[in-house]
Amino acid sequence: MNRRGFMASSLAFGAVLSANLPSFAAEAEPGARNPFKLRYAPSLDQFKHHAGEDPIDVIKFIHDQGFGAIFDNGLMGKPKNVQEKIAKALQERSMELGPFVLYADFSKESLVLSDPAIREELKGRVKEGIETAKRTQAKWALLVPGRYNQRMEWDYQAANVIENLKYIAELCESSGLIIVLEPLNKHNHPGLFLTTIAQSYQICRAVNHPCCKIVSDLYHQQITEGNLIPNIDLAWSEIASFHVGDNPGRNEPGTGEINYRNIFKHLYEKSYKGVLCMEHGTSIRGKEGEIALLKAYRECDAF
C-alpha cells in the first residue's frame, strides 16, 4: 500500500473506530483486541491521547489493544516506587519489558578508551542498572559505546571497546542482565563508534559472553546499510532485541520504505520470542495518529 492510500485508510478507520468507541473505557475494555503475533512494545507515552499520562493506565490500554510488551528508555530515571508499580502491572498481564537505556552518552569518547575513570563510571551505571532490573524484572539494558577517537588507530579503539564490554558483562553475569549494544546511523548521530550490525556482531563474538548482545534498530540500519533481513540472519546468534521505525521520517510502519510485514513475518518464522520496541513517532498528530498507529501494526502483523 502506498503512503497516500495508507493515510486515507487510516483516517477512515479512525473515523469508524472513534464513532464505535467514543470513550477510553470502551476502547480499553479487556479482551477487546486479539493478541499480536509478535511482542511489539509501545512506549509509555505513545498512547497518551487515549490512555492519559499515568503509566499504569497506559499499560492497561496497551495490553487491551493486544500488545504483549512495553519499553521505557528512561526507566532508570523513574522513582523506585514507580518502577515497582510498572513491574507489577506488567507481571499481572504477563507482559515483557523491553530494553531500558543503561548508558548512552553521545557527547564523549568512553568505551573506546582504556581509562580507569571510564571503568569506574561504567561500574556505577551497571550497578544502578542491575538494581533497576531487579525491581522491574527487566532482562535487557541498552548501551551505546560513545564517540570514536580521531587520533587513535581504529583497531586499538575496537580492542578497548571489547575489553570494556568484557568487564561490563562480568559485572552483569550474576544478575543475568543482558547488555544490548545499539549501532546508530551516521546521519542522525555522526561521530559514534558503533554504526553497523556487522561491526556489532564482530564485537559481540569477541566479547564472547551471554550478557553482551545486540539490539538491531531497523530504522538506523536501513539508513546505514539496508539489507535488513540478510543482516538479521547473519547476526542472528547475537541479536537479543529489535527497535522499529520506518524511514524516512521515523514514524509507524507503512509510512516509509521498509517492508515491515515481510520483516515481521521473517522474525515470526524464525520463532523470535523477544521484544520489538516501537521507537518512533506517528505520522498524524493526536488521537487520530494513535488510531493510525494501531492500524499500521495490525496490517503489518497480518501475515
- What CATH number does the domain containing 175 carry? 3.20.20.150
Q: How many domains does the chain have?
A: 1
Mean pLDDT of the chain: 92
pLDDT tens digits for range 171-216:
999 999 999 999 999 999 999 999 999 999 999 999 999 999 999 9
pLDDT tens digits for range 250-298:
999 999 999 999 999 999 999 999 999 999 999 999 999 999 999 999 9
pTM metric for this prediction:
0.89
Range of the domain at 163: 3-300
CB 177 within 8 A of CB 138: yes
